[in-house]
Structure 1
């Protein structure tokens, strides 16, 4: 039977752009370009490697899943051009302002509807950087979680991986179905080829809304959020730096400056 892999990905604001909050204190996504979260590219790569290592390429099917606005399809197309087989886009106006709790609910419902054996996520999104969605997903799905892996493989219905810590590495495994997350040390993500980009245009992308997942508007969005931003202040503009002229006392002045800033 085919191994069904679902990779959760996120469409995030470009970190090099001018990011700011909208009037309702949610991230303004209209005035900045978006892209597939870089950390999710590692998750797509690991799914592709697991499929490549299968005895038969037909033994693994990779579905990429995202929750987001219309433009989030760009993130799906990037993943499809890397080599994923199909995509699911959950889009609904009532999702605006959804926090990680609501996002994990929507993702879990979509994953259950799609069918899965293995869910792969990045270690965090590059905008929210909470890093808790994989664990929340595992809890909602009622399956084991094996998170923050630097290496991952699947064999005989078991997912195995290595988690690297500051002082030691752990070898972990769990029976499928399971949820795993991978770090940015798991292997460089491949670049989409021209052939892959052209092929992605013909791959299926399903669009679902809350009604397709039997969810109500009050369960998600700002109304259903467990967290709330009370206020936000723009970062102050950069000021000119302090120049230390070395006229024999440069080292001392530099040390005094660093100590004054509590860097040393």
Structure 2
């Protein structure tokens, strides 16, 4: 099995890479700075390929995917993502554009490149790691991050319909809070106060199972999903008081 993970040098992407390495997959791990893998056990994985690029750079994405896919591409996972909170965007408006470039445009670049490689063989699977924030409907003072993740889920749904007749499956992973280094960094060093927090290992088990089952959507944990569904039913006047 040949697996490429864009956003594979940290967080959920790297944890998934470790899972597929144990399964004997040939891996390609991509990120802005692939040197982050130096010293990591996966760096010694036989056949491991590293690619450094910004997912927002369409040509760079195509170059990397095309290079690795010369010998086949069975699974392309896009876990690259960017988070900027509303306060930061209010202070520096231009910070909104890189977020969209990564979470929306970059996903399209990756799916286009992956689809091109897989269509030639008539099989394969594309996966995006989105966020349960993407299940929030637009509401007063809703965040750009949530909007970008709604777009990611919608993009995966569109590609699924387009590629299904050609033997290529598409899975949208929609996780709640996962105890990654990045989440801890965003929360003062600890994410323990986040509701229904999942460990990376728990998340990988759920995600890998959904990928193996070629599921359309993988939403977890169910408790947080239920809370989001209830929030979507609230009147707009109440929704505006949601804390970011």
Q: TM-score, normalised by structure 1?
A: 0.36
By percentage of residues, which structure has more helix? 2
- TM-score under structure 2 length normalisation: 0.38
Which of the two has higher C-alpha Rg?
Answer: 1
* Bigger relative CO (Cα 8 Å, ≥ 6 apart): 1
Q: Determine which structure has the larger strand proportion and give its number.
A: 1
